[in-house]
Every structure is written in C-alpha cells, then in structure tokens.
Structure 1
Amino acid sequence: MIERDNKGYVVHYDILGLTYWMLSRIEEIGRRDLDAHGRFPATASHAFRHEYLDRPIVDEWMHILGQVIERQWPRVKLKENIFEVKVSHDVDRPSRYAFGGLGQLGRRIAGDVVKRRELSSAVRGPLVRWRTRDRLDEADPYNNFEWIMEVSERYGLASAFYFIAGRTDPRKDGDYEVEDPAIRHLLRRIHTRGHEIGLHPSYATYRSADLVAREADRLRRVCAEEGIRQEKWGGRMHYLRWEQPTTLRAWEAAGMTYDSTMTYADHAGFRCGTCFEYPAFDAVAGQPLNLRIRPLIAMECSVLGDQYMGLKKSDALDEFAKLKERCRAVRGAFSLLWHNSELRTPDERLLYESVLSV
C-alpha cells in the first residue's frame, strides 16, 4: 500500500477519496432499500458487508497518512488530539405516568403489572400523575435526570439532553409539551448544573426544513423565557430518521450548530468512518454547510434491543468497550446515546456506569 522511492513516499490508496465518500455519506443518497422507518440500515452499507463498520476507518487512514508525513518531513508537528467521551440522552419520555391521556396511563400501568410484575405501579402511577405539577415526581421511574447528571459530573462529563418540541406522529412522538411547568423546571435544572439542552425533532420532520425550524424555534423560545442561554444548539433526529442530504439542509436552515444522528439504528459502529466532529458538506449541491456533524458511535437499544443486535448484558459491555477503545486508539470521541427511560433498574444503571468507566 505504501512504498518509498527516491522522491519520498507513494501511497497506493485513495485516502482522500475514501474520506470524502464516507464523511459525505454518498452511498446513502437516493437509496430505496430502507427500513420501516425510512432509514438506511447498517446491513445495506458497504462497511457492514465488508466488516469494517466497527472501525473508524477514516481515522485509521489519517493516522497512517500522519506517520508518512512525519517521516517525510520530521520537522512538521501534527495536531495531537485528546480522547474524550460524549454522552447524550434523547428525552422521548421524561415521565412514565405524568403526561398523555388517561388511557395511556392505564396501558402503562397494565404493562408494568402484567409484563414486569411491578404490582406497586397500580398505586405509584396515579400518585405520580397527581403529584406532577411544577416538577417531575421523585417516584417517577423515568425521572432519573439528577442521577444522570450526578454520574456525568463524577466522570468529568457534561450530558446533552435532547427534547422533543413538536408532535408530527402521536404514536411515536413524545407525550409532553416543552411549555409544561415540570419540563421548564427540568430545563432549568439541566442548565443550572452545567449540562446541555438540545433538540430532538419529531418523527415526521426529517424531510422538512420548515418543521425542524419550527420545533427548534419553539425550544429556544422556551429556554429564553427561562433565562437559558447557550452558545451551541445541537441535537439528534427522533428514531435516527435521516435522508441525505435533505436532513442536513434542514438542520442548517434551523440555525443549529451540530447534528448527532449519524449512527445506524440496527448496529452500533462508525457510520461515517470517523469518531471526530467535522463540517457538513452537501455532496449533491457541492456546497459546504454551516453545520457540524458529531458522529454517534453507539445507542444503547442498538446493542441491547432484540430487534437489533440483541446482545446480553455481558456481551453488550464487551461491544461498548471495543468501540470505546477504538475511539481511544485514534484519540477521537466516543459518543454514546443512552435514553433516560432505559435507566430504570439497578442492572441498567450498572451497565451504563460500566460503559463510562471501562
């Protein structure tokens, strides 16, 4: 692949072409082999079919190129990056019982009692709903935000919480309004503790710049009313729905700073071939965009969900650890999504902390 001649080094590989192809997600443009949610699946990708989805291949090649540069020009000092962890939480359900209609409350209690054998939910559900006024109730199993922030602070991290600020599909979107007093209180707590607030555009917005902008404006307005100011506004699409480059342009038009959707729902790994944030580019229009892409490396339900990778807890920890180590090897960022609603039990919390500490 690489040889030296009397003039220097010759690299027999199109590193820049690979980088452009991966970062611009050219293989996804115009695809029709999509899943039930209109998403390009990992199983259809070149990386999955050729078994390099679990490697930051762009970063690995850049590392090799860096070594060649240093050997050819020893006085050149390349930038040295520092490995970091970024944690984020899509707030699909801030409460198990407080929002939505009474029918939904009944179904959730029935699910707790019948499926999970949580008989106490028959009492806890109505009680949590009644007590949730200007803040989320402490007995609510989904209200673990203070715990999440405490864990992040213990590891020197700042969590990013992405909120839904619209409803384009009542069956799939959040059952809360960002104007609700309890949500306003939660936003203030997140900001006061030094963590980040971001947008989680609703289910049917991924092809509509107008809808994304409307929901972004709504969230920013509520935050402004609560005295919350942020230099950066980012987020992630609900259900990881994405159409390249339509959704990119929607994010830019909404005035967002970055997007962190770029992973596959059905398989964790390096969808863009990198674990570094980078500037977005519209390959169809041939234009750079005023937006940053922050690749997501792993989502908890991609690894644990029966409909996706379906790994057991011990195997799941090994998978998270492998991906994290590969980010560390190239001094990139291990970006992890873990929903607050998937941190209910001691076992779930233990696995989450184990991923952070490994």
Structure 2
Amino acid sequence: MLLVYSHTITPRVRYIFKHLLTRILQIPIDFTSRVEDFVAHNGPKFSYTKVALGKEFFVKSHDLLFQQGVRDVEIHVQRWDRVPCFFLQGAKSDIPFDIFAASFYLISRYEEYLPHIKDHYGRFEAAESIAFKEGFLEKPVVDIWAFKFLAELQKRFPDYQYTKRQYQFISTIDVDNAFAYKHKSFIRTLGGFLKDTYELKIFNLWDRFAVRFNIKKDPFDTFDRIIRLKAEHDVRTVFFFLIGDYTTYDTNVSASKTKFKLLIKDMVDYARVGLHPSFYTMHDLDLLKMEKERLEQITNLPIKRSRQHYLRFSLPDTYQKLIDLEITEDYSMGYASHAGFRASTCTPFYFYDLDFEIQTPLKVFPFAVMDTTLNDYMKLTPKQALGKIRDLKNEVKQVQGVFITLFHNESLSGYLRWRGWSRLYGSMLKIAKRG
C-alpha cells in the first residue's frame, strides 16, 4: 500500500489520486493528514502539499484540488521531457508538475463548465479544448503522466512490488439506422421513392425497390457479419440502439416494428446492448426515461449502458439525468469532429460532479476514434483511416489502457458514402486485438 499525506484530504484529492494511482497504476493507496502517521509509515509513501515535511518523496500541490466550484484557471502548457504538461511547481517538487491537479482538470472536464462556444448541435467543440489547442488531443497524457510518475516512484521505492495492468479493447457499434430501406413505414418509403425520382438517383431507386421486394438484402443489415467478426477475434462488443420516435435527427426504424425488436433481442444473445438516447434527450429527462423503459421492455433486461446520439451531451446536466435513471456506464466521451481523447485518458473513470463536489456512480468509457469522424470530418481514405486507428491504438498500448472504437453498422455496408469502407472494420479488429 502507498500512503499519501496531504494537509487536507478533499473529495477532489481522493478522486484523482485513486484514478491515477489505483485505476491506472494498480497501486492500492491510503490517505492521512496526520504528520505522525505519515512519519511512522515504513512502506512507500509521499506527501502532496505546499511544503515538504522533510526529505520524503514530495509533490508540490497546486490549489485546484483544494478549491470548490468552478473558477478561471490559468493554464500554461510546457514540456515534461517531451510530454505536454501544465501546473509547473518548480525544482523543490520531486516531479516538476502537479500531474494530479492537471489530470483532475482534464478528466473532470473542468473546461466544459467554463464559458465556451458551442457548435451548431449545441456540443462542446474539440477546437475549444486545451488538448486541441496545445496539440495533445491524440495522446492519453493523463496515463502517460501516471507512468512517468511511477518511474520516479520506483527509483525511490525499488523493492515495492508493482502490478502491471493489461491492454484491453472494446468495440462499440451505434445503430442509428438498422436498415436503409426495409421495415420503414409506407409514408417514409413513398417519400424516399419520390425523392430519389426527383433527384434522378436511379441506382438508389433500384436498390430501394429490390430491398423492399426481397430481391436484395438491405445494405445496412450487417449485423451477422459484426457478430461473426466478434466471435472470430474474440472482441468485447457493445451495441447502442436508437429507439426514439422519428425526428429530423432520429431516423431509425420505428421501435414498434417486430423485425426491429427481434434484431435487438438477437443482439442481446451475442453481445452487450445499451441505449442510444435520441437527439433531444440532452435536456429532457422524461424523454430519456421513456426511451430507456422502451428498450428494457424489448430486451427484458435492465439497461445500464448509454451513448448519446450525435454525442450530444452537456455537463453536468446530461450526466446527472443518466444517474437519476440508474445508468451506470456512459460511452459518449469523445468528439465527432476529431479523433483522440476528449478527457485525455484511455482509462474508464467515474464522473466527478463539480456542482456537488462528489464522485458519482456513473462510469465514463472514453472512445478514441469514430468511423464518421474519419470519413465525414477528416475526409480520409480507408487506408489513411486505418493508419490513424493504428496510431491511436499504439498510444493506448504504450500505457496498457483501454482502446475503445465507435463504428456504425452502416459503415460495414460499403453503401453510398461508405463505398470502399466495408472492410475497414475487420481490418481495425485485427490491429486492435494485436498484442
């Protein structure tokens, strides 16, 4: 056990120290604010305070972990060796930066509580983040800092037995449109025919006709292939189903359709299933509750996992709503426009509510890359996209973290805007599962 001394043990201190030391570095810890207990401890230990008690291993603390609420924080990013870091504490500290305060700033999403410009969907933009501005969005710097700290700790306490964590991979699939043409209502089908006719999309017209009359398989029905690849590569897979009512932004098959219900039930037999809350649930608890109950009625299981449609969430409001509905895992932490690590970590973490200054039971699983980001936003070719995925996976592998990807069943179809992308998912699994 590692003993940590601090002059005050705040909820923020407990929260971030457990994330860095216990969840990332696998080191059990305890805290004390009593000098005599710290001095008497014979095992590995260090102090986190303003002035060292003596000649112990010492990390000089920034004020952030001893404050309450949100206020403007001055950030000046510098280099720790070649790694970006901030909250420089000077030569008297055994590590030059207060990585605990810096990690808390990033993981709590402190900057998302501060005034910022939202995009046209009401989301916090990647370009507003310190990680993007300072060029470390594609690096899990919190995990990197933790291992740099561990290297210093091992120099001071070489006889202590340190446990290494194992790299993990999770594949997540968003089902925004289970089917391109099949099982849509008569009105939506007719509207689609008329639109394709007006726009002279002859091939779309034929596909629509062929699928409706069972001449061809629906192009977005790629679920058998996903399940086959899951078994072939032994992949932990989570499906998120959009089952909200039809809107401009929510265009899936109606949840009342028997075939759609059977699809969801089938997926429950092979993989984990979660809710994909519709566009307008970001601020609407009643709508979110209705959709959760609807999915639970289909699966006959309690729904504990969630990812917001369009990645549209606002902190802390949306997460507080998920907690109220007893959702325990959220997979929304990432950007639509950019690949990388929104919270600068590749380790799942518990949401810290800055409104109430508490660690909540909601566990956040940050994803690193999404197929639509690579195709629609970054305009990469499939080959370039695979290279980007490999780079991100390698970043995670270096710190033995959790690599999480976000794909859609549509992208495996190779249909319309996904032409040429059908094999990317299988290639990605080979890279992601490789040790």
Give me the whole-angstrom Cα distance separating, in 1, the residues matched to 2:202 and 2:145: 51
Residues 1:185 and 2:262 aligned together: yes
AA at the equivalent of 1:177: S
Q: How big is the alpha-carbon RMSD for the aligned residues of Structure 1 and Structure 2?
A: 2.5
Structure 1 residue aligned with 2:6: none
Question: More displaced, 98-107 or 180-189?
Answer: 98-107
Q: Indicate the SS of the match to 1:31.
A: coil
CA spacing shift, 1:110–1:177, aligned 2, 3 Å: closer
Structure-2 residue corresponding to 1:266: 337
Partner of 1:134: none
Report the counterpart of residue 133 of structure 2 in structure 1: 49
Instruction: Give the Å deviation of 1:279.
Output: 1.1
Task: Show structure 1 runs of 5+ residues with no match.
Answer: 132-136
TM-score (norm 1): 0.87
Which residue in 2 is equivalent to 1:82?
Answer: 166
1:144 to 1:287, Cα distance in 2 relative to 1, 3 A:
same
Specify the alignment match of 2:81 in structure 1: none
The answer to whether 1:22 aligns with 2:22 is no
Answer 1 or 2: higher relative contact order, Cα 8 Å, separation at least 6: 1
Change (3 A) 1:329 1:116: farther
SS of the residue corresponding to residue 235 of structure 2 reads coil
1:155 equivalent in alignment to 2:233:
yes
How far, CA to CA, are the matches of 1:66 and 1:123 in structure 2? 61
Q: Which amino acid aligns with 2:370?
A: M
Q: Distance in 1 between matches of 2:368 and 2:385?
A: 14
CA distance in 2, matches of 1:322, 1:66: 24
Question: Percent of counterpart pairs with the same letter?
Answer: 26
What are the ranges of 5 or more consecutive residues in structure 2 without an aligned counterpart?
1-53, 59-93
Return the alpha-carbon distance in structure 2 between the equivalents of residues 274 and 328 of structure 1: 12
Could you tell me how far 1:293 is from its partner in structure 2? 0.4
| Native 8 Å contact 1:70 1:77 kept in 2 | no
CA distance in 1, matches of 2:198, 2:164: 54
**1:290 Cα deviation after fit:** 1.4
8 Å CA contact retained: 1:29, 1:243: no
Residue by residue over 1:158-188, the C-alpha shift from the partner in whole angstroms, topping out at 9 and shown as x without a partner, is: 3211112323x61111332334211221122
Residue among 292, 308, 325 paired with 1:237: 308
Equivalent pairs counted in the alignment come to 339
Q: Select which of 237, 245, 248 maps to 1:171.
A: 248
Tell me how far 1:128 sits from its aligned partner: 3.1
| 1:91 has 2:167 as partner | no
CA distance in 2, matches of 1:353, 1:190: 18
Q: 1:343 to 1:116 in 2, by over 3 A?
A: farther
2:395 is the counterpart of 1:334? no
1:288–1:105 CA distance, 2 compared to 1 (3 A): same
Question: Residues of 1 paired with 2:138 and 2:149: CA distance?
Answer: 20
Q: 2:224 aligns with which of 146, 153, 175?
A: 146
Contact 1:90 1:161 in 2 (8 A): yes
CA change 1:155–1:319 in 2 (3 A) is: same
Pairing partner for 2:274 from 192, 198, 213: 198
Q: Which residue of 1 aligns with 2:47?
A: none
Q: Larger deviation: 236-245 or 342-351?
A: 342-351
What amino acid sits opposite 1:156 in the alignment?
D
Matched residue of 1:152: which SS?
helix
CA distance in 1 between partners of 2:120 and 2:137 (Å): 22
Does structure 2 conserve the Cα–Cα contact (< 8 Å) formed by 1:267 and 1:309? yes
Between the aligned partners of 2:352 and 2:213, the Cα distance in structure 1 is 49
Q: Which amino acid aligns with 2:250?
A: D
Q: Which has the larger radius of gyration?
A: 2
Q: Distance in 2 between matches of 1:109 and 1:78?
A: 63
1:215 is aligned, of 250, 266, 291, to: 291
**Once the 2 structures are TM-superposed, how far is the Cα of residue 104 of structure 1 from its aligned partner?**
3.5
Counterpart secondary structure, 1:292? strand
Whether the 8 Å contact between 1:124 and 1:139 is mirrored in structure 2 is no
Q: Deviations over 1:19-57 (max 9, x none)?
A: 111111010114340111001111111100100001000
